[in-house]
Amino acid sequence: MGRGAVEGPQGARSRRLREAMGVCVTAFNSIHDEMAWLLEHLPAGKKREQVEALHRPFLALLKRYPPPASAAGAATEPEEGGAEAEEASGDEPA
């Protein structure tokens, strides 16, 4: 958390840390997703080996610090329009 030019009050330290953590998580997830996509689409060769080598530390971090249960559950929940789609098709929810 550097001390760059700041406009206005900095706010509470806890809020700044939360925001910084959110930015880091977003960056981590984006890079991880890009690497996973590359590994699915790259043919065998030197570039693929480089991406695999870069991907291993990400996998180690995920193993060491698994996502919270709430984050894992959010990925498996149905989309918001799910109940409306059932009603539109005439199916009764069980």
Backbone angles phi, psi at 58, to 5 degrees: -65, -45
More confident residue, 21 or 70: 21
Phi-psi region of 19 (alpha: psi -120 to 50; beta: other; left: phi over 0): alpha
Q: Cβ(35)–Cβ(58) under 8 Å?
A: yes
Residue 49 binned pLDDT confidence (cut-offs 50, 70, 90): very high
Reported as a single tens digit per residue, the pLDDT across 56-73 is 998 998 899 888 887 655
The residues, any chain, with a CB within 8 Å of residue 55's CB and separated by 6 or more, are 32, 35, 36, 39
Residue 42 has pLDDT above 90, yes or no: yes
For residue 40, pLDDT beyond 90: yes
**pTM value surpassing 0.85:** no
Instruction: Quote the mean pLDDT of the chain.
Output: 78
What is the model's pLDDT at position 72?
A: 58
Residue type, 26: T
